[in-house]
Amino acid sequence: HADIAMYRAKKLGRNNTQFYEPTMNEEARERLRIESALRSALERQEFVLHYQPQVDVQSGRVVGMEALLRWQHPELGMVAPHRFIGLAEETGLIVPIGAWVLRTACAQARLWLDAGHGPLRIAVNLSPRQFSEPQLVASIAAVLRETGLPPACLDIELTEGLFMHDVTQAVGLLHKLKLLGVALSIDDFGTGYSSFSYLRHFPIDVLKIDRSFISDIHEGDEAAIVVSIIALAHNLKLRVIAEGVETATQLDYLRRHGCDEIQGYYFSPALPVADFEVLLSQGRSLHPALA
Ligand code: C2E
Ligand code: MG
Ligand code: MG
Ligand code: MG
């Protein structure tokens, strides 16, 4: 809400300032309220991670999961990330929040490996703001060391926006991350404005096809884009994951075109820890007949 309020405030522009002033004050107050709530949310342990399975299309097995942040607000209930990630970015609060996400996700993945559910990969979203933190590589190394999670089990999701600014710096940083032994994914692939040329220079392991292409897969252009991204990934020796797979038709199309993994409501939404454990224990498969 705060994001939308700010967006509207900006859009209204100077001419409307007088007329909208009372509203803008309200909006500014609302924003401040959320910001200060966000500030104390970590201390009050109001954040929680849900985990969405990533499934191998061929074997039908769960091979990993993406950690997705939720805010369990005392009054607002479960708050989805789109309502607060933007503000967390702007205020820099995403840095301590992101550090908590990384540590919690890695510790959880380690528990699941110890329980015999492996091999599993844990994907964690990193915001652009976290990438400009000088401590990033050291703090990821520390989390891996302290949780004992094998680095190869950690998959860091980046967005294309990262490559739009200082390319040289980004390349250097990604190589340092690769030296830790983690996997690197491009999230929401196809929605950014960057050119494909960066793919040659960046040590990337995975392309995640954005959900918007998958939901419109029945339309010719989107189908062509999906097939092209899969081919591009495979030609560059990258794995490819389709996000937001909701129907058997979409899955079938992706399987026929050689997509490696899927993630989406068709198999499962993001789940709280206990529910994810049930899914792992049951050994749930994408192809029940083969289970
Ligand atoms: P994302 O990283 O692209 O994550 C995928 C989003 O798509 C998740 O939304 C997931 O619940 C949703 N999704 C998965 N399958 C389906 C499907 O079949 N249909 C539809 N309609 N949606 C599906 P969520 O959890 O609301 O997260 C939204 C975004 O918030 C994420 O997009 C990511 O950009 C950001 N985010 C979430 N957690 C974190 C975090 O810990 N740190 C940072 N920096 N960003 C995060
Ligand atoms: Mg993601
Ligand atoms: Mg995505
Ligand atoms: Mg997204």
In tens, the pLDDT along 232-264 reads 999 999 999 999 999 999 999 999 999 999 999
How confident is residue 1, by pLDDT bands cut at 50, 70 and 90?
very low
Atom of ligand 1 nearest to the CA of 85: 45
How confident is residue 10, by pLDDT bands cut at 50, 70 and 90?
low
pLDDT score at 220 = 79
CA 226 to chain centre: 19
Q: Whose CA is nearest to atom 15 of ligand 1?
A: 264
Report the predicted TM-score, pTM, of the whole model to 2 decimal places.
0.91
DSSP states along 168-235: HHHHHHHHHHHHHT-EEEEEEETSS---TTHHHHS---EEEE-HHHHHTTTSHHHHHHHHHHHHHHHH
Atom of ligand 1 nearest to the CA of 124: 41
Name the closest ligand to CA 208: 3
Is the ipTM above a cut-off of 0.95?
Answer: yes
Mean of pLDDT values over 73-94: 91
Kindly state the tokens that stand for 176: 């340092």
Name the closest ligand to CA 251: 1
CB-based contact 137:172 (threshold 8 Å): no
Q: Whose CA is nearest to atom 27 of ligand 1?
A: 81
Q: How far is the CA of 15 from the centre of ligand 1 (A)?
A: 37
Mean of pLDDT values over 47-68: 98
How confident is residue 17, by pLDDT bands cut at 50, 70 and 90?
very low
Q: Is the pLDDT of residue 21 over 90?
A: no
Q: How far is the CA of 67 from the centre of ligand 2 (A)?
A: 8
Q: How far is the CA of 206 from the centre of ligand 1 (A)?
A: 17
Pocket residues: Cβ below 6 A from ligand 1: 52, 68-69, 80-82, 85, 94, 98, 101, 125, 127, 157, 187-188, 211, 243-246, 263-265, 270
Q: Is the pLDDT of residue 122 over 70?
A: yes
Which of 132-136, 170-174, 236-240 is predicted most confidently? 236-240
CB-based contact 250:214 (threshold 8 Å): yes
Kindly state the tokens that stand for 92: 């820099």
Q: Whose CA is nearest to atom 4 of ligand 1?
A: 68
Q: How far is the CA of 125 from the centre of ligand 1 (A)?
A: 9
Q: How far is the CA of 196 from the centre of ligand 2 (A)?
A: 20
Dist. CA 272–CA 276, nearest whole Å:
6
